Amino acid sequence: MLLGFNLLNLAIWIPIAFGVAVLVTGSDRNARLARVIALIGAVLGFAVTLPLYTGYDRLATGFQFTYFAPWIESFNVNYHLGIDGISLLLILLNSFTTVLVVIAGWEVIKERVSQYLASFLFLSGVMNGVFSALDALLFYVFFEATLIPMFIIIGVWGGPNRVYAAFKFFLYTLAGSLLTLVALIYLYNVSDGSFSLLDYYRLPLPLAPQIMIFIAFMLAFAVKVPMWPVHTWLPDAHVEAPTGGSVVLAAIMLKLGAYGFIRISLPIVPDASHTLAGFVIALSLIAVVYIGLVALVQADMKKLIAYSSVSHMGFVTLGIFIFNAHGLEGAIIQMISHGFISGALFLCVGVLYDRIHSRQIADYGGVVNTMPVFAALFMLFAMANSGLPGTSGFVGEFLVIMGAVKANFWYAAAAATTLVFGAAYTLWMYKRVIFGAVANPRVGALADLNAREFLVLGLLALAVLTMGVWPNPFAEVLHTPVNELLNHVAQSKLR
Amino acid sequence: MQLLYLIVPLAPLVGALIAGLFGWAIGRRGAHWITILLMIVSTVVSAVVFLDVLGGAADNVTVYRWLDSGNVSFQIGFLIDRLSATMMLVVTFVSLMVHIYTIGYMADDPGYQRFFSYISLFTFSMLMLVMANNFLQLFFGWEAVGLVSYFLIGFWYTRPTAIYASLKAFLVNRVGDFGFLLGIALVLMYFGTLDYAAVFAAAKTLAGNSIELPFFWWDFKWSLMTLICILLFIGAMGKSAQFPLHVWLPDSMEGPTPISALIHAATMVTAGIFMVARMSPLFELSETALSVVMVIGAITALFMAFIAIVQNDIKRVVAYSTLSQLGYMTVALGASAYAAGIFHLVTHAFFKALLFLGAGSVIIALHHQQDMRHMGGLRKYMPVTYLTMVIGAISSAGIPGFAGFFSKDAIIEAVHFSKLPGSGFAYFAVLTTVFVTALYTFRLLFMTFHGPERFRGGEHHDDHGHAPHESPAVVTVPLVLLAIPSICAGWFIGPVLFGGYFGGAIVVAAPHDVLGEMGRHYQGVVAMMIHALGTAPFWLAVGGIATATFLYLLRPDLPAVIKGKAGYLYTLLERKYGFDEFNDWFFAGGARLAGGGLWKGGDVAMIDGFINGSARAVGWFAGVLRTLQSGYIYHYAFAMIIGILLLLTMVFIA
């Protein structure tokens, strides 16, 4: 049997199986059934990831919950799964977000409901696959497979300009990852016919091929993160995507790139990573400062949050490439926190969009007068996005700045400008949308959050606050894999 | 004891959560009773802790581990010593007064419960800040008080000026925090810990270190301590509104008056002063940093005082007065007279809270009229407010016997003794400011309570018909309770400044020990008062009061004449030296311009231009290829022949 009992198998295949079940319900006459099945699938998918956290051995090095089965034996491709603390957190975040997305789309999506929900469940399973693959080709397949459901989500349920955005998203990311396959085939050859990441970790490589491989991987990962200057697909994709699509895109899909750097680039080509670190850091800092300024002038709320994502992901790549524990742990914590915060912010915009059908800041003003509960929750997420201590947004930024100053004081100084820029674009938007007198009759007629919306935003608020007040439970699982990775990267693979 | 420490900040937090989340259920009375009862608990426990600390106790406890990373453990914990215990007592006492006062001031406001929730939340944050035993928690409290300040300045969220002011306050503070966080990062990098005790213990061994800051091709070399201290001080400049980050404080007056008293006079704005005093073991190691602190403080004290003379909004006068007094405290820090700075912080907390709450009492009596040109002659209608305000004004002007006199005189003397570069300018500045302070304070008093009654026929008051009346007891009782320490708090100067009150909490290097030098001449409170009668500060204060009396009581026609004669100077002051205009134009406008340019020029034109251009290029190329695939056999045959010919040619040539 291909799939023995293994929690990772369940985390990948339960959402996909339920996705198939949802598809079977067919047309929109059975929409209610489709929603219920999807919710059960999402909750079950999240439930099976919880034992991963409780059962995870914090002190053990290497990968845990491993599963191995041959897949394409003639090419030595294996269905090899396993996680460490880094993937663990991302799997939890992914499965948690899927539950929220299913609830958030409950009444909002009225057309092709089963296909919509199935796409998210497929996506969730496939992304868990990326986070647990230990075979390079398996990783690649999962990595590329994420494009299809997201392409459909944007292209079918998106806004007026959805086709342009969907193609831009698809081609951008696909073009980025083409060279990855070339790099993998090269590695397959020099490793005498292995696709195992663990083999690649031990594989000695001269500097020149390392740099080529690094660049090939980086193209794929940088587009996904997205790093400046290959970020321009993101604002378009976000603006056109339905709320749920934006949430998953920002919360999880962007993390695939950063995860790729951590899982693939750093350990396989450590010397190239060191050689090119300055370059990556420069791009990261440009992202923080340049994108911070660009976010300031956006008139469309979704675009603003999309740019804010690029800026915050700059902290992640910065943290990864300064090669110290504060930086790397900060980067990973920032990834999780950004998942909560950006997801929540897109949901907040969705709440407004569902009522007024506009994303333009100028169409709002004085929302607090009619939606006080919403305003309070939105405030929390806005502050978290500004990196306020006590929210999850602070923890990662704080650690990355603490780590960056060790590498170079000016890195830290450039990164810390986000204290001003991040607060400026987030709170300025908040001020124009939420505060003030009621700006127009449509705002005056707004109804506050319903129970479903309150549940989704409330859960995220709880996550943001818990992680801000007591981040240690999140960080505990990271220490061993981060130390292992840093030790590994410190050793040269040149012979 | 440790449980008691926890109760002090947690009681207000619980109050804030109940009033904030369940305000709809418990109603207005429920909200104020719960928050005030919990504030009383907090105040009483603070007093117990204070007495315990006076008895010689000191404690450094960890509450919980926030985060481990690398080999550093970031913790939440309390450092209880003379410094933090004093601050705890001041914060809880003033906060309690403000809570009670709020019942009267906010009686008609629809956001009643929300307001109580905010001020209790503020008290929690401020207590976490002063009780911290490490830099991380300090930063937590630092940002949390900033957050609540943002909420409270923008409390009336439909007013455009209020929400503008709240955003401005938050962002200007963030500029300060930018420096502050970098300072903390350097501390962590060099000391490997953020715990005060460990950092201060190791400070001396790192004093000689310098840090290289390679910036592309340039190498900057700085003394490590100087860099750390200046970065930390940038944080203090934001929070304590020092020049040139002072611009947010006057605008913060858009918030309700109780919070102007609590946050923007007595407690939050003094966080920067407290922080520098707490960091005295570091600042003592860098004379450059101390000089910077002193000069910035002197500039703030002098130039903000000038602006107060021309303001007509009663709250703005008090606000600029606060800026100027914060400058005094900063000067004291720069002169290494930390104890004097903290002492002035405490006396100022009382008399400035008193002045603010008195101003608020006037404002409610006149139905939210804040313009002093529409006041006058109120003393017979509001005797309690008037008398307590007089006490506050005298204390503020520094007349011997009152609290403000002792703390301010100590600072002036300390600067006189200081030998650091910049102390000459600082001494001139603080002396001049004494005159100006007395002038604007009594101008406020005379314009509000004396002279003709100008409030009738004002835009706010014409249709009410009845005379203004004294505020209710919930307003006047806090005024009286604050008036008492505004008189007597100064009498403790002997033990606090010269008796080693702060013990090990404040460290002063021997060459900077100006207070020690002053202590050798100190012969008691009465002697200090008598001595003062023959010194410049006293006569400058008297001169200021006399000038105010002449201009605003005896010859009220003169100010308009002077205003006409000194038009240019007047405009400069009225426009606050143009800082707001400059910041709006240069920083806010510049950032928007840069953002727009990068977006349109960088993202849209260049990057997307390239991407879409390459997509079009692919399309064009495919179009060219498509024409080749015409489907006619003879086209392909022709192409094949040409190809074969070319190949043959190449073979033959080779």
**Considering Cα of B223, then B225, then B229, then B231, what sign does the dihedral take?**
positive
Query: Is the confidence at residue B599, as pLDDT, over 90?
Result: no
B347 closest CA partner among B362, B329, B333? B329
Q: What is the pLDDT of residue A272?
A: 93
Where residue B576 falls among pLDDT bands split at 50, 70, 90? confident
Within 8 A by CB and 6+ apart from B312, the residues are B371, B372, B373
How much is the average pLDDT of B294-318?
90
> How many Cβ atoms are within 10 Å of B63's Cβ, its own excluded?
15
B79: left (phi over 0), alpha (psi -120 to 50) or beta: beta
Task: Supply the DSSP string of B287-356, one letter for each residue.
Answer: HHHHHHHHHHHHHHHHHHHHHHHH--BHHHHHHHHHHHHHHHHHHHHHTT-HHHHHHHHHHHHHHHHHHH
Residues 6+ away with beta carbon under 8 Å from A58: A85, A476, A477, A479, A480
If you count residue pairs, one on A and one on B, with CB atoms under 8 Å apart, how many are there? 133
B9-30 residues labelled b (16+ CB within 10 A) or e (exposed): bbbbbbbbebbbeebeeeebeb
Mean pLDDT (whole number) for B329-337: 91
Query: Could you say which residues from 608 to 627 on chain B have a Cβ atom under 8 Å away from some Cβ of chain A?
Result: 608, 611, 615
Query: Is A319's pLDDT higher than 70?
Result: yes
Between residues 566 and 585 of chain B, which touch chain A (CB distance below 8 Å)? none
Does position A433 have pLDDT exceeding 80, yes or no?
Answer: yes
Reported as a pLDDT band with limits 50, 70 and 90, residue A405 is very high
Model confidence pLDDT, tens digit, residues A436-477: 888 888 888 888 999 999 999 999 999 999 999 999 999 999
Contact A232 B611 (CB under 8 A): yes
Ranked by mean pLDDT, which of B206-210, B303-307, B466-470, B508-512 comes out on top? B303-307
Q: Please judge whether A475 and B69 are an interchain contact, meaning their C-beta atoms are less than 8 angstroms apart.
A: yes
Asked if pLDDT for residue A134 goes beyond 90, the answer is yes
User: A232 and B70 in contact by Cβ < 8 A?
Assistant: no
CA B429 to the chain's CA centroid? 21
pLDDT value at residue A163: 87
**Share of residues in chain A with pLDDT > 90 (%):** 69
Contact residues, chain B, for A428 at CB < 8 Å? 167
- The 10s digit of each residue's pLDDT in A15-65 is 999 999 988 887 778 888 889 999 999 999 999 999 999 999 999 888 999
Residue B619, exposed/middle/buried by CB under 10 A (0-12, 13-18, 19+)?
exposed
* pLDDT score of B460 more than 60: no
| A367-381, B107-121, B224-238, B513-527: range with lowest mean pLDDT | B513-527
* Nearest-neighbour CA in chain B from A440: distance (Å): 14
Query: What does each C-alpha distance from B405 to B391, B392, B413, B538, B543 come to in angstroms?
Result: 12, 11, 12, 9, 15
Lowest-confidence segment of B133-137, B313-317, B461-465 by average pLDDT: B461-465
In whole angstroms, give the CA distance from residue A226 to residue B414.
56
Q: ipTM, 2 decimals?
A: 0.91
Is the pLDDT score of B220 beyond 90? no
pTM: 0.91
B375 in Cβ contact with B369 (< 8 Å): yes
Cβ contact (<8 Å) for A368 and B157? Answer: yes
- What distance in Å separates the CA atoms of residue A49 and residue A91, rounded to the nearest whole number? 7
| The pLDDT value given to residue B465 | 55
Residue B654, helix vs strand vs coil = coil
Q: In this structure, which long-range contacts are made by residues A208-213, counting pairs with CB atoms below 8 Å and at least 24 apart in sequence? A: A210/A269, A210/A271, A210/A272, A210/A275, A210/A493, A211/A269, A211/A272, A211/A275, A211/A276, A212/A183, A212/A186, A213/A183, A213/A186, A213/A187, A213/A268, A213/A269, A213/A272
At residue B136, the pLDDT reads 93
pLDDT above 60 for A488: yes
pLDDT band at residue A308 under the 50/70/90 scheme: very high
Q: A472, B177: Cβ pair inside 8 Å?
A: no
Contact assessment for residue B72 and residue B443, using Cβ atoms and an 8 Å cutoff: no
Contacts of A290 in chain B (CB under 8 A): 598, 602
How near does any CA of chain A get to the CA of B200, in Å? 19
For residue A234, the one-letter residue type is: L
Query: What average pLDDT does the structure give for chain B?
Result: 87
Nearest to B70 among A324, A368, A395 (CB): A324
Q: Does residue A78 or residue B211 have the better pLDDT?
A: A78
pLDDT over 80 (residue B463): no
pLDDT at A421: 92
Task: Give the residue on B whose Cα is nearest the Cα of A470.
Answer: B66
Q: Say how far apart CA A380 and CA A461 lie, in whole Å.
A: 7
Q: Is the pLDDT of residue A3 over 60?
A: no
State residue A2's pLDDT score.
Answer: 45
Q: Which of A350, A318, A348 is nearest to A331 (CA)?
A: A318
* CA quadruple A373, A376, A379, A381: dihedral, nearest 10: -70
Cβ neighbours of A293 in B, within 8 Å: 591, 594-595, 598
**What CA–CA distance (Å, rounded) separates B263 from B146?**
10
Residue B214 pLDDT > 90, yes or no?
no
Most confident residue range from A257-266, B513-522, B614-623: A257-266
Give per-residue pLDDT as tens, B28-58: 888 889 999 999 999 999 999 999 888 877 8
Over residues A274-293, mean pLDDT = 92
- Cα–Cα distance, B600 to B608 (Å, whole number): 10
Q: CA-CA distance, B521 to B526, in Å (whole number)?
A: 13
pLDDT for B462 equals 47
Measure B262 CA to nearest chain A CA, in Å: 22
Where is B210: in which H helix or E strand?
A: strand B210-215
Mean per-residue pLDDT of chain A: 91
For residue A1, what pLDDT is reported? 39
- Can you read off the two tokens belonging to residue B485? 């320490």
Mutation to test the A interface, candidates B62, B67, B210, B607, most A Cβ within 10 Å: B67
Is B206 near chain A, with CB under 8 Å? no
